[in-house]
Amino acid sequence: MTTAIESRTVAAQGFFENLASLLTPDYTHVGGIVATMRSGCEHHLYDPRYSPAQQMYSTDCPHEFRLQRRKTTTAVEGLPTGQLSSLEFQKLISDELVVLISNSVYKMYADWNMSWKFRIDSGERMQKLKVPMITPSSDPVEWKTITVGNALGLKQLLEHPGCDGKIYFGVCWFRADPPFLLNNTQRELIGLKRAMKQMRSTVFEAFKCPSIDITRLVFRSNRNGNFKKLISHSPEYAESRYTDGNLLEADEVGNLGDGMYCDDSDEEWDSDSDDHETEKNYAFKATIRVTGTSRRTYQAFIDYATCGALYFAPLRSAYRRYCETPFIELSESSQSPEELRAPWSQWAKARSTPHTVVPGVKTLSSPKSLYRLADMLIIPELKAICYKQIINSLDMRYVISEINNSVFQQHEELRVEAYKFMRTNWRTLSSSELTSLLTQLSPEEAALLVQHTLMDNSS
């Protein structure tokens, strides 16, 4: 059976010009002349394992070749010892033109065979100059210095009538891989393919297995206590394809006192007609059950977690104040003032505060409800955003109502900020409002409020 041998050949061509200064007797320039490449490197690959076996392609030549003049001298034989350094006892051995090869060429082709061919077009005849083959076993100095020919002889050829004054060259690198190298390469490729296959299987299995990043939050709405499982809201922004089949129902319009739990304004909008749950066979590494939170609050949290959208509704106490304000002028119709007032959903949408706008995703939510959920799930960033929104929404017309709110009672930091707000603006409160507030506080807290808020600002 014939042994399959792979061979590679790389060839490049160029020329040296403007050689007159290089061939003058008093030439001392050390830079040399840089070759002009006629074309890129032409690569020929012969591999009997493929069909067709012969392949050819070209690339730009990244290498640099310099033509330099080299003079070699030696001492005259039979001279006394100690006189070898005297110039008058030395004679010129050779005066040649050589091509200096850069280190990049040597690093790339040190284990290849290399051949050079030079020619000079002297009118009607072309003079070819052959250079012995350079092998990988050649001395590195010999490998990197290619002799073109005698400087005087080359000068005579270049000065011949009709000569274009250029030295053309062609260089060829050749390598044939023995069978055992091919076998080693094949074994390495097989091993590499096997390792890549194992890595692919490992990566795919890692994606199939549950991750701590896939955490299921299960919440129970305050309205009827049904459990809901909601992983994401919009397929466009969601990282999981496991979503509730339906989005939130249309906003419900209810009376002021209907469906109120812990003064949570989101309860007014809550709709629990959708009892769809995620697939039973889907695995999660962690399940957090959230209770005491409306569906709208949880929906707003999902919007924020998946795409950053965040829209705040006004404080519920502001709407209560709006409903308690009497109408000065009654309508000519038979409708009562209560019927003329805008319902909560319409009023809240008109006075909503956007924090982060995302087109197509908008779920209004109470900042107090989201603050409580962020505190429960330990999300400092969202908690800080809601905290700022709550404080900025305080107003002296309903700050007392907020202080008595369950969220302010559960979170001392909100209660302290409300008292600071009162301390700055307490003169706008009526005596009846202050009395009502003090009677609802504990004796200790009422004493602190009078001492540090009212008395300190009365002076």
Of 235-249, 264-278, 443-457, highest mean pLDDT = 443-457
pLDDT of residue 311: 94
- Beta-bridged to residue 391, according to DSSP, are none
Cβ atoms of 56 and 43 closer than 8 Å: yes
Q: Which residue has the higher pLDDT, 27 or 228?
A: 27
Confidence class for position 453, pLDDT limits 50, 70, 90: low
pLDDT of residue 138: 82
pLDDT of residue 109: 86
**441: in domain:** yes
- Compute φ and ψ for 261, nearest 5 degrees: -125, 120
At what angle are helices 412-425 and 380-392 packed, to 10 degrees? 20
**182: in domain:** no
Residue pointed to by tokens 């109408």: 327
Question: Domain check: are 163 and 29 in the same one?
Answer: yes
Q: Which residue has the higher pLDDT, 248 or 216?
A: 216
**222: in domain:** yes
Angle CA(452)–CA(457)–CA(459) in degrees, nearest 5?
A: 115
**227: in domain:** yes
C-alpha distances in angstroms, 350 versus 73, 319, 345, 364? 100, 12, 9, 11
Q: Which residue has the higher pLDDT, 417 or 330?
A: 417
pTM of the complete model beyond 0.75: no
**456: in domain:** yes
Confidence class for position 275, pLDDT limits 50, 70, 90: very low
Question: Domain check: are 23 and 169 in the same one?
Answer: yes
C-alpha distances in angstroms, 454 versus 102, 156, 234, 405? 89, 114, 50, 21
pLDDT at 46 over 70: yes
How much of the chain, in percent, has pLDDT values that exceed 70?
67
Confidence class for position 255, pLDDT limits 50, 70, 90: very low
* Percent of residues in the chain assigned helix, strand, coil, to nearest 5: 35, 25, 40
Lowest mean pLDDT among 18-22, 259-263, 330-334, 411-415: 259-263
Question: Domain check: are 243 and 118 in the same one?
Answer: no
pLDDT in tens, 141-186: 778 888 888 888 888 888 888 888 899 999 998 887 765 555 666 7
Question: Domain check: are 228 and 346 in the same one?
Answer: yes
Query: Alpha-carbon distance 296 to 250, whole Å?
Result: 11
Q: Which residue has the higher pLDDT, 459 or 317?
A: 317
Question: Domain check: are 252 and 363 in the same one?
Answer: yes
Confidence class for position 388, pLDDT limits 50, 70, 90: very high
**231: in domain:** yes
Mark which of 159, 177, 195 sits at the end of a domain: 177
**146: in domain:** yes
Query: Alpha-carbon distance 141 to 43, whole Å?
Result: 26
pLDDT of residue 262: 46
Cβ atoms of 228 and 221 closer than 8 Å: yes
Confidence class for position 335, pLDDT limits 50, 70, 90: low
pLDDT at 382 over 90: yes
Query: Alpha-carbon distance 94 to 308, whole Å?
Result: 81
Structural domain harbouring 61: 6-75+87-177
Mark which of 373, 393, 413 sits at the end of a domain: 393
Quote the number of domains for the chain: 3
**70: in domain:** yes
pLDDT in tens, 215-240: 566 666 655 545 444 443 333 333 33
* Most distant pair of Cα atoms in the chain: their distance: 139
Question: Domain check: are 318 and 456 in the same one?
Answer: no
Mark which of 118, 148, 177 sits at the end of a domain: 177
> If you write DSSP's letter for every residue of 90-138 in order, what string do you get?
EEEEEEEEEEEEPHHHHHHHTTSEEEEEEEEEETTEEEEEE-PPB-TTS
Question: Domain check: are 383 and 413 in the same one?
Answer: no
Question: Domain check: are 258 and 381 in the same one?
Answer: yes
How much of the chain, in percent, has pLDDT values that exceed 90?
11
